[in-house]
């Protein structure tokens, strides 16, 4: 076992973020690959190209030193190292990511424990480690291009909480997977842009507030209420299935959450007294938690 105990974590969302991990901390700087650095954006890059980019990041991050573990976190349904579905990166569907990465790493002479996980689960693992909550149930909503639901400790199952059905309206069809009434079809960044073709999400939330003598836009007000009630409904479902506790909320669009109103919405939905000890915490968005959680998951693999 290398004396440095150095691992590398990689997080794939709308970009690739990677860093070394030592203990429960990021070691050095986080490196990010975005569209402006050259090459195709991830949405159109072939799966093989994404695998090669990840291996290049590992090679660069290792500095030629031995690694103890490599953890890689992808969006979508990830089980036994296979990406069974990835609505926001369709080209990854069916990819045996663990096998592809292991072969590509070995071709460069890199040998280490390897684990492939879901990106939201990696965030949950990172939260558990950084908050000293490794002995507790950690649930996290990640609000971005899609909606992730992270769960720690890892549990068998699909855990695609972003596709929880929160509406019976057949017109609610903005989810990237094609399903109707899904949480992601209301809250996802992509879904919001499709719903309001002439407005960005931040404009929608701003228009739902009064500005000077201007009244709020009724359509935007109605949507903001729906947005919060959708998250409340999905959370209430989780509470009814697994019990109460703390729910973390993070990601680029966590800034839109009104925690007080969200709490009131959940209170309308959860009435059984043993289930009412729940709480929300907003966590500023960062790649650090997902990178840390991915690496720590690999160490336990």
- pTM equals 0.92
* 129 shares its domain with 267: yes
CATH number of the domain that 219 lies in?
3.30.420.40
* 147 shares its domain with 160: yes
Give the three-class secondary structure for 284. Answer: coil
Size of the chain in residues: 301
Would you say residue 1 lies in a domain?
no
Residue 26 has pLDDT above 90, yes or no: yes
* 193 shares its domain with 110: no
Q: Note down the domain range covering 49.
A: 6-118+287-299
- The predicted-structure confidence for 133-145, as pLDDT tens digits, reads as follows 999 999 999 999 9
**Residue whose C-alpha is closest to residue 8's, from 55, 54, 95, 67:** 67
Q: How many domains does the chain have?
A: 2
* 95 shares its domain with 172: no
Distance CA 39, CA 246 (A): 40
* 201 shares its domain with 220: yes
% the chain with pLDDT above 70: 96
Distance CA 257, CA 228 (A): 7
* 190 shares its domain with 92: no
Would you say residue 166 lies in a domain?
yes
In this prediction, residue 212 carries a pLDDT of 82
Task: Measure the CA dihedral 139/144/148/152, to 10°.
Answer: -30
In this prediction, residue 2 carries a pLDDT of 40
- The predicted-structure confidence for 188-245, as pLDDT tens digits, reads as follows 999 999 999 989 999 999 999 998 888 999 999 999 999 999 999 999 999 999 999 9
Would you say residue 235 lies in a domain?
yes
Distance CA 136, CA 133 (A): 5
Distance CA 143, CA 5 (A): 32
**Residue whose C-alpha is closest to residue 6's, from 70, 67, 71:** 67
Residue 257 has pLDDT above 90, yes or no: yes
In this prediction, residue 40 carries a pLDDT of 54
Give the three-class secondary structure for 223. Answer: helix
């Amino acid at each position: 076992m290398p004396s440095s105990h150095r691992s590398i974590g990689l997080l794939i969302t709308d970009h690739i973020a990677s860093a070394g991990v030592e203990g429960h901390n990021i070691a050095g700087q986080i490196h990010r690959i975005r569209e402006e650095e050259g090459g195709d954006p991830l949405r159109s890059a072939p799966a093989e190209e994404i695998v090669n980019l990840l291996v290049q990041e590992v090679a660069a991050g290792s500095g030629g030193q031995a690694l103890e573990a490599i953890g890689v976190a992808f969006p979508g349904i990830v089980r036994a190292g296979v990406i069974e579905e990835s609505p926001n990166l369709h080209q990854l569907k069916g990819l045996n990511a663990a096998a592809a990465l292991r072969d590509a790493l070995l071709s460069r002479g890199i040998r280490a424990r390897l684990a492939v996980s879901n990106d939201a689960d990696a965030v949950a693992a990172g939260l558990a480690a950084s908050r000293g909550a490794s002995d507790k149930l950690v649930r996290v909503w990640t609000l971005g291009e899609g909606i992730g639901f992270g769960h720690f400790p890892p549990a068998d199952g699909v855990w695609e909480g972003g596709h929880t059905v929160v509406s019976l309206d057949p017109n609610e069809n903005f989810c990237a997977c094609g399903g109707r009434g899904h949480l992601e079809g209301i809250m996802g960044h992509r879904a919001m842009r499709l719903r309001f073709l002439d407005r960005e999400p931040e404009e929608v939330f701003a228009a739902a507030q009064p500005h000077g003598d201007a009244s709020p836009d009724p359509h935007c007000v109605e949507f903001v209420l729906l947005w919060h009630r959708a998250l409340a409904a999905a959370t209430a479902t989780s509470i009814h299935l697994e019990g109460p506790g703390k729910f973390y909320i993070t990601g680029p669009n966590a800034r839109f959450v009104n925690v007080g109103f969200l709490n009131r919405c959940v209170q309308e939905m959860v009435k059984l007294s043993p289930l009412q000890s729940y709480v929300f915490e907003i966590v500023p968005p960062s790649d650090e938690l997902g990178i840390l959680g991915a690496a720590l998951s690999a160490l336990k693999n």
